[in-house]
Structure 1
Amino acid sequence: MKLAVISDIHGNAAAFREVLKDAEKAGISNIYCLGDSIGYGPEPDEAIRMVRERSILSIQGNHELAVNQPGYLDWFNPIARISLEKTITMLSGQSLDYIAALPFFLTGNNCRFVHGFPPDSPTTYLFEADPEQVDAAMTKAEEPICFVGHTHELMIVSHDGREVSRRPLKRETIMLDTGCRYIINVGSVGQPRDGTNHAKYVIFDDQALELEVRFVEYNVTETIDKIYAAGLPEQHAWRLF
């Protein structure tokens, strides 16, 4: 079965719509979302509504965690905290109830889905983990493949039973090795930080073990204008360039 894995929509409904269109054209209806559907962007309630209406399986990211447990607001830098506090006021009661019920991880299709780092952390960045931590996490995991987001950068980490290796992903299609275990960072739909302003996500064929990295164009200016109109920190607009 082919499935799409998305992450870090961050209230960028314009980018999210184009990703959904792209997935539909590719014949994909099974979608997992790795959290951070809110924060930074101008349409957090719309992003949540789109996730809900399409029955997309989703988990908590660190931004949802801070909504559910306000003590985690102190974890964010000052600008991100201001943005998140503004975001919370933009969410409907229905969206808040939805966010409150999100789990920290999901499993399916012989894969694990986590926002930050396995087995279930929404706050640990993949780049923070040294080879020993990665080795331990991958060795303990029941699932050979774990998809993560959080860093907004595409990355693949592999473990062949002897050593851990990692490299950035680009717009490409690769075959995974049945003898390896993987942590795959799917990048960001709504706020990529890898040098291009395309929305990013992946399509994974769990039978062929084929991974396709998708770059999707969208109207960046639309989102930038809405960030300013919403009174969100202008740094969030700059990042989209």
Structure 2
Amino acid sequence: MYTYAMKRYTGSTGESQIVSDRTADQIFGSLLQEIVSGRLAPGEPLSEQPLAARFGVSRTPVREALHRLEQARLAERGTRRAFVVRQQSMDELERLFEAAGEIEGAIAALAALRMSEIERRQLAALLQEGEVTTDPEGYAALNLAFHAAIRTGARNDILAASLQDLNLRTFGWRDANFRADADRMATSHIEHAAIAEAIIGKDAQAARQHMRSHVATAFLVLAETLSAASSDRRP
């Protein structure tokens, strides 16, 4: 679910590469959850060798996972060039989610005008699937698919490219919300339903507003989670 650029290969070497990518995805997801939950505090080291031993893998997928965390601005190089958990300010996260909400809102508005009938029905099917999904991991994957379908339906590669970096830096947090907050899947689905209804009904303005609200709510849930984690760490 955390795959951003998995390549397809053929042959035994290619199969090993895909396995390595999937392992890196799993390590990335585990470390992300620990950062969001506060179990990994800002400044805490993320050393390749101890992590490789912990996950029972070579250093290669660990290194890939750490680079993804760096790209997502969740990790940074410390004084000795080793990775550490990066301090995230609430102001920075708020600006990040605000930007993502504005771009995703524009994409949703375009999707309402440009999606084909087949694409609208596919969006409705994703919504229906999300209604019966109770597993956070499964819902996170559906969440990605839902947003990707809207992005494709908007048919604007410039906006899609602008969103790519923001997605790398926000979707991990948004996915983690589904595990950290027991109610988030239900509220997310309600928000998805409003977005889908607007897109299927070709109401561009409503689609924009519901998407912006959806991303804003994701930030507010995250802010509460981070605040609770910070309180738990205080002596």
TM-score range (shorter-chain normalised) is under 0.3
TM (norm. structure 2) is 0.26
